[in-house]
Amino acid sequence: MRWIARLAALGCVVFVMLQFVRPALTNPPVAAEIQAPPEVKAVLKRSCYSCHSNETALPWFDQVVPAYWVATHDVKMARQHLNFSEIGKLPAAAQRAMLFEAVTQIQLGAMPLPRYLKAHPEAALTPADLAVLKSYLVPFGKTAVSDAVTIAAADTQYKDWNGEKTPMPAIHAAPNGIEFFRDYKDWKAISTTDRGDNRTMRVIAGNDIAIRAIESKQIHPWPDGAAFAKIAWTQMTDNKGVIRPGQFKQVEFMVKDKTKYASTAGWGWARWLGMDLKPYGKSAAFTGECVSCHQPVKDNDFVYTMPITRTGGTR
Ligand code: HEC
Ligand code: HEC
């Protein structure tokens, strides 16, 4: 039985020695903290700053190797993606856009990292915390009520859009050569979203190949030929306080072809603006912003929308 005691003693020695293997975790000065009201910062401080700032303070149990190694690695990675102690030097709109992206990550359940929450339950966001962030992102507080004329104009426009009374104008291809998808209004709706910070309402639709892939659960990855449309209207508030679609803003597409579009994450990206469907982007390089903003869902084949099937989630 003595060997057990010896082994335990050896284990203790190794454990103590490992404590000295410590990658440095420094807190550089807070150069330019995010500019946001105190209540917004308070939420971020409690839930995100331990990784996404230069004000990292590890609790004692994270000071102990191997937890310490995990924590330092997380902080380094997290700061690379988003550092609330440094983004204050960006234009206000860029800071808001990053915060919007952060809220998306929270709502997806991706942030704070789920494994971190197990040991740090105090970092979890309550619905009230989330509401604080979201209401800050709504630019003008309550929307102004639109007058009857504006509402009628939007309704007429919607009928035109929907009924195709006027023939569609000649539509130019996107700068990367992708042609407009003239049949997209016949695609099936998969989801709707509304975005408080820029006041748009959106419908996401999929073509037949996408819908069949959802039904047969073949979406990791999506098959070639699958396509999505995201159709956006500006938000309007009527005199009853109902928020409803106003002017048509844009429609954008993703079409899968892992070979043809290998250089843009396997998807062809394109966007057309306004009722006259003007192609978006000065050159084919516009796709860079699409891919980088869809990067957080790369494990989901770069698609944000999670279809809901009859048997529940597909993940
Ligand atoms: C335990 C540390 C930790 C905490 C706490 C944490 N994050 Fe992160 N976060 C990370 C790491 C690590 C990454 C990089 C993930 C990767 O590269 O896969 C990351 C990435 C991100 C990204 C970028 C996603 C991308 O792929 O571009 C956003 C946005 C984000 N976090 C927001 C938040 C917000 C908001 C909070 C607080 C509500 C938060 N995080 C809390 C560790 C953390
Ligand atoms: C600011 C970040 C951002 C940028 C930039 C961006 N997207 Fe997206 N996109 C999203 C988010 C978030 C969703 C999820 C649906 C939603 O929130 O409306 C989405 C959804 C979509 C969808 C529906 C399928 C899906 O992934 O859910 C299409 C199609 C799409 N985007 C096309 C584009 C195209 C084309 C571009 C570039 C011209 C682009 N996106 C740029 C964030 C972005």
Q: Which of 20-29, 113-122, 289-298 has the highest mean pLDDT?
A: 113-122
**Bridge partners (DSSP) listed for residue 230:** 204, 252
Query: What is the pLDDT, as a whole number, of residue 165?
Result: 56
* Ligand 1 atom closest to the CA of 103, numbered from 1: 35
Query: What is the pLDDT, as a whole number, of residue 246?
Result: 86
DSSP string of the chain? -HHHHHHHHHHHHHHHHHTT-----------S-----HHHHHHHHHHTHHHHSS-----HHHHSTTHHHHHHHHHHHHHHH--TTTGGGS-HHHHHHHHHHHHHHHHTT-SS-HHHHHH-GGGSPPHHHHHHHHHHHSTTSSPPBPPHHHHHHHHHHHHHHHH--SPPPP-PPPTTSPPP-TTGGGSEEEEEEEETTTTEEEEEEE-HHHHHHHHTT--SSPPTT-EEEEEEEEEEE-TTS-EEEEEEEEEEEEEE-TTTTGGGTTEEEEEEETTTTEEP-SSGGGHHHHHHHHGGGGGGTT----PEETTEE--
pTM score: 0.60
* Ligand 1 atom closest to the CA of 75, numbered from 1: 2
Q: Which of 47-61, 98-112, 296-310 has the highest mean pLDDT?
A: 47-61
Segment 143-171, tens digit of pLDDT: 567 888 888 888 888 888 876 556 666 89
| Residue 234 CB less than 6 A away from ligand 1 | no
| Residue 81 CB less than 6 A away from ligand 1 | yes
**Distance (Å, whole) CA 267 – CA 210:** 13
Reported as a pLDDT band with limits 50, 70 and 90, residue 83 is very high
pLDDT at 196 over 80: no
Sheet holding 278-279, edge to edge: 188-195, 200-206, 227-237, 243-256, 267-273, 278-279
With vertex at residue 260, the alpha carbon angle to CA 255 and CA 265, rounded to the nearest 5 degrees, is 65
Of all residues in the chain, the percent with pLDDT exceeding 70 is: 92
Segment 24-63, tens digit of pLDDT: 888 888 889 999 999 999 999 999 999 999 999 888 889 8
Domains of the chain, each with CATH number or no CATH? 12-137 (no CATH), 148-313 (3.50.70.20)
Q: Which of 293, 300, 302, 314 to mutate for ligand 2's pocket (most ligand atoms within 8 Å of CB)? A: 293
| Residue 48 CB less than 6 A away from ligand 1 | yes
| Residue 253 CB less than 6 A away from ligand 2 | yes
Q: Return the number of other C-beta atoms located less than 10 Å from residue 145's C-beta.
A: 14
Window from 5-19, 177-191, 278-292 with minimum mean pLDDT: 5-19
Distance 115 CA to ligand 1 centre (A): 12
Distance 290 CA to ligand 2 centre (A): 7
